[in-house]
Structure 1
Amino acid sequence: MAAQVTPLIVLLGPTASGKTGLSIELAQRLAERGTPGEIINADSMQLYRGMDIGTAKATPEERQGVPHRLFDILDVTEEASAAQYQQLARQQIATTRERCSTPILVGGSGLYLRAVTDVIEFPPTDPRLREQIESELAAEGTAALREELRTADPESAAVIKDDRRLVRALEVIRLTGRTFTSYMPQRRYEPSAEPVIQLGLRVERSLLHRRIEQRVQHMQAAGLLTEVRQLEAAGLRRGRTAPAAIGYQQFLRVLDGALSEDQAVEETIIATRKFARRQETWFRADARITWLDAPAEDLTDKAMEAITARTG
């Protein structure tokens, strides 16, 4: 009889909910059971080298010797791709299981998490076509392109608000002849990922807001502006995804003289709170998640109980 694989533990929740600390504690608890945890990053911005302070990336000391995978694998000039990440993460999960260790997928990027756990087909890309559409957007504005999207894919048109996703949706439609909506995933686990245990951290809204404010203020004190200045010298502005990261886009404006550092902090706090609400909305729709109230003194115990209930 084939050996039973270790479960894939998914630890998710809004930013500043305590995922990093809990993931390390879970990895250590699992080691006591003989199946040590290895943390696999599912935060799209923690893929980038040098984006440490602004993404609240765990330091080597904070990691306490627990293996951390898929961190610092991209330069800031490179584009993060959910399709590429899917391949890397699934391979990492497989090799972790081959070591009889437990993969712990940790992050708040909903699409990246589902790219790993669920059956998802990613549409192809064509850089030249994308550039053509971006040129049309710059020359003609959004009205004509939004009308094209409404005609070809009214369902996508109803929910897409930003220009970046508008361009991507039209790229897919023109390239494949299929609607962008047709590529949207269903909530069904990819067989190679199973068994999957999803644990979500739930934090009372006002407390989460205070934690976000404290985190951003800590980032400022830790030298976020210096980090952004160093990344700018390394080509941050040439990237497609990295310069759009919350915190980095605001502090780039400090370098431009458009904001004071205190204004950048305030704008980062506001943007992070909005992002956290979007994360909560995304995760709330998934009935497969077991929710844990955080912070709590017995949080690790509760998480281990949920894991044990599924694995024995």
Structure 2
Amino acid sequence: VGGTAFYYQALFEGILTDEMPRDRDLERAMERAWESGGAQALYEELKSVDPLAAARIHPNDRRRILRALEVFRLSGRPVSLWYEAGSKKETSLCPLYLGLYRCRESLRERIARRAAAQFASGFADEVKGLLEMGYDETCPALQGFGYRELVMYHRGRISLEEALERDIKATRAFARRQMTWFRKFAPALWYDVSRSETDEITRQVMVLWENQLKVVRFP
């Protein structure tokens, strides 16, 4: 379970977790427990056995909660430790890490504008339609930014204005976590797109790429 950063890490650093145990019967049993109303109890169990994983997983993220519990029940070892330890394997890849970023204020402003534009373009109606079709909070697609806040709005728990503010706040926090994560990929060259022209950045990147090709030996 992971996102883009984990894929990069697995590909370029050889950190894989394919040795984690799996049991389809246990998986189905926990699915039934979740469906029968045990979602909160299962999340509380995860918090008690693996607080690090629980802190990173949304309480409604059934797939990741159940997978983390499955690994713990089978191995007696928290899934967060599996990812931390990993199993480094040799890799012949020689990556050139290039990153694009914006200054903090510019990024915060763009996130707010993007969220406001989404809400003004019928986002709430889209989520309402999905709920009317029978989807609910347990659906992974409805746990994305904006979706989970609008589900709460349609459930009468928060106002539309609060849903927008929560969406903006959550997206900004995610952007900060992303930058922290990707700065682990070193050495890397970062380009501030809020201060440099796109054409100039492209030119510099192409020069670096051509130089990289001169020194990398392909199998």
Alignment TM-score, normalising by the size of structure 1: 0.52
Q: Give yes or no for the alignment of 1:308 onto 2:210.
A: yes
Q: Structure 2 vs 1, CA of residues 238 and 254 (structure 1 numbering), >3 Å: closer, same or farther?
A: closer
Q: Structure 2 vs 1, CA of residues 117 and 224 (structure 1 numbering), >3 Å: closer, same or farther?
A: farther
Conserved 8 A contact 1:146-1:166: no
Please name the residue that 1:182 is paired with: 82
Q: CA deviation at 1:247?
A: 0.7
Measured in 2, the distance between the counterparts of 1:166 and 1:286 equals 27
Conserved 8 A contact 1:133-1:171: no
Unpaired runs of 5+ residues, structure 1, are 1-80, 83-107, 150-155
Please name the residue that 2:125 is paired with: 226
Q: Give yes or no for the alignment of 1:285 onto 2:184.
A: yes
Q: CA deviation at 1:139?
A: 4.5
RMSD in angstroms over aligned alpha carbons?
3.4
Conserved 8 A contact 2:98-2:188: yes
Counterpart secondary structure, 1:196 = coil
Question: Between the two proteins, what is the percent identity of the paired residues?
Answer: 31
Q: CA deviation at 1:299?
A: 2.5
Please name the residue that 2:217 is paired with: none
Q: Give yes or no for the alignment of 1:208 onto 2:103.
A: no
Measured in 1, the distance between the counterparts of 2:87 and 2:106 equals 30
Runs of 4+ aligned residues of structure 1 deviating over 6 Å after TM superposition are 187-190
Measured in 1, the distance between the counterparts of 2:88 and 2:211 equals 21
Q: CA deviation at 1:210?
A: 0.6
Q: CA deviation at 1:294?
A: 1.6
Report which structure shows greater RCO (CA 8 Å, sep ≥6). 1
Measured in 2, the distance between the counterparts of 1:206 and 1:243 equals 28
Conserved 8 A contact 2:53-2:68: no
Paired residues for 1:205-284 under 5 Å:
205-237=104-136, 239-284=138-183
The one-letter amino acid of 1:111's match is: F
Q: Structure 2 vs 1, CA of residues 190 and 292 (structure 1 numbering), >3 Å: closer, same or farther?
A: farther
> Can you list the C-alpha shifts for 1:259-286, whole angstroms capped at 9, x where unaligned?
3332221111111111111111111222
Counterpart secondary structure, 2:136 = helix
Q: Structure 2 vs 1, CA of residues 220 and 238 (structure 1 numbering), >3 Å: closer, same or farther?
A: closer
Conserved 8 A contact 2:149-2:166: yes
Counterpart secondary structure, 1:246 = coil
Alignment TM-score, normalising by the size of structure 2: 0.70
Aligned length: 198
Conserved 8 A contact 1:200-1:291: yes
Unpaired runs of 5+ residues, structure 2, are 215-219
Counterpart secondary structure, 1:309 = helix
Q: CA deviation at 1:248?
A: 0.6
Counterpart secondary structure, 2:125 = helix
Q: Quick check: which one's helix share is greater? A: 2
Q: Give yes or no for the alignment of 1:128 onto 2:28.
A: yes
Q: Give yes or no for the alignment of 1:138 onto 2:40.
A: yes
